[in-house]
Amino acid sequence: MTASGAKMTAKLILGKEVSAEIYGELRKRIEDLKSRGVTPGLAVVLVGDDPASQVYVRKKGEMCEELGMKSLIVRMPAETTQEELLAKVDELNNDPSIHGFLVQLPLPGHIDEDAVINAISPAKDVDCFHPSNVGRMLIGDPDFLPATPAGVQQMIVRSGIDTSGKHVVVVGRSNIVGKPMAAMMVQKGAGADSTVTVVHSRTRNLAEITSTADILIVAIGKPRFVTADMVKEGAVVIDVGTNRVDDPTHPKGSRLVGDVDFDAVKEKASYITPVPGGVGPMTICMLMANAVRAAEKVVG
Ligand code: NDP
């Protein structure tokens, strides 16, 4: 309810709209780089034939081309050895036409993911998974920001939501989303300066904590886990989760839902991101931003 007693329906924050704004800015930066003789190049290494990874890799390549960047997709068979993959990483580290690259995760079980991430040159680590880049983010001096949390932060900032002094509760503590998200929001400066709490599967009284959040960011991978009673009236709710659930009424027999019970929570929140259409499009967008930044760093 609002102060006047009227029922509130949240404003939607749409990833397509926010990313379109950012792509507009990136296009100008790419033009500028090209006018200085540099075409930003992004490579993606895919080992094996995981269907979801194939889709992500294809989308990344398409977006590069749409922006006028150089795209290189390196496909390696599932039996690729760790040595072969490390040799490919070394080759890309030393390829001047490739400014940034990533190795699509997950990797087949016989390959040590950490060894591969550690072998990527931090200057080209556009996923921002290398420990050196994670550390730089933590101390507030980043070259790159990890794509999904950076996308969430952009959605908040570009919606005109003030984060300074706000209580941000992050649900989930993965290295890809929850932990870097919390680290970013606690930094000094615009778009951050928040008071941050991280909750996870071992947290006691989780609902009590989430209901004190001014900004609630959920990344756990549990369909509709966050219900309306766990959300404060007027909170900003960002749903990172993407879960496929059975739905016989849908042509595919299933559909995507988030970690938040969208229909109920939207009646209580001030802003909310839908699934699909919310955070999803931001991840690739921020990856592209990192690739452009990597090229700009080379040009100086
Ligand atoms: P992980 O599985 O790596 O981590 C999940 C986190 O959620 C863990 O920290 C876990 O806690 C916590 N968690 C699980 N169950 C509960 C619970 N019942 N209560 C509280 N915390 C819980 O997932 P990711 O961070 O990689 O991804 C999270 C979701 O976000 C997924 O749905 C994923 O598909 C989606 N995602 C979406 C992206 C996008 O572009 N839109 C990009 C990346 C992820 P603990 O550590 O204690 O086990």
pLDDT for position 3: 55
CA 289 to chain centre: 12
Hey, CA dihedral for 59, 283, 36, 43, is it positive or negative?
A: negative
pLDDT for position 1: 54
Output the CA 3–ligand 1 centroid distance in Å: 34
95-154: pLDDT as tens digits: 999 999 999 999 999 999 999 999 999 999 999 999 999 999 999 999 999 999 999 999
Amino acid at site 245: V
Looking from the CA of residue 242, the nearest atom of ligand 1 is 32
SS3 content of the chain, % helix, strand, coil (to 5): 40, 15, 45
d(CA 18, CA 154): 8
Question: What is the residue with the minimal CA distance to atom 40 of ligand 1?
Answer: 280
**CA angle, residues 203, 234, 229, in degrees to nearest 5:** 45
Using only the alpha carbons of the chain, give its radius of gyration.
20
Output the CA 174–ligand 1 centroid distance in Å: 6
243-275: pLDDT as tens digits: 999 999 998 899 999 999 999 999 999 999 999
DSSP string, 159-219: TT---TT-EEEEE---TTTHHHHHHHHTSSSTT---EEEEE-TT-SSHHHHHTT-SEEEE-
d(CA 145, CA 142): 7
Output the CA 176–ligand 1 centroid distance in Å: 9
Residue showing tokens 């609002």: 2
pLDDT above 90 for 6: no
pLDDT for position 300: 85
39-74: pLDDT as tens digits: 999 999 999 999 999 999 999 999 999 999 999 999
35-47: pLDDT as tens digits: 999 999 999 999 9
Confidence band (pLDDT; 50, 70, 90) for 8?
confident
Under 8 Å between Cβ of 259 and 278:
no
pLDDT above 80 for 34: yes
Looking from the CA of residue 202, the nearest atom of ligand 1 is 47
Task: Count CB atoms within 10 A of the CB of residue 277.
Answer: 15
pLDDT above 80 for 237: yes
Question: What is the residue with the minimal CA distance to atom 12 of ligand 1?
Answer: 172
Looking from the CA of residue 221, the nearest atom of ligand 1 is 32
Q: Which residues line ligand 1 (CB under 6 A)?
A: 148, 171-174, 176-178, 200-202, 206, 219-222, 240-243, 279-280, 283
pLDDT for position 53: 95
Output the CA 156–ligand 1 centroid distance in Å: 20
The mean pLDDT value of the chain amounts to 96
* Residue 52 DSSP SS3: helix
What are the residue numbers of the active site? 60, 104, 127
Question: pTM surpassing 0.95?
Answer: yes
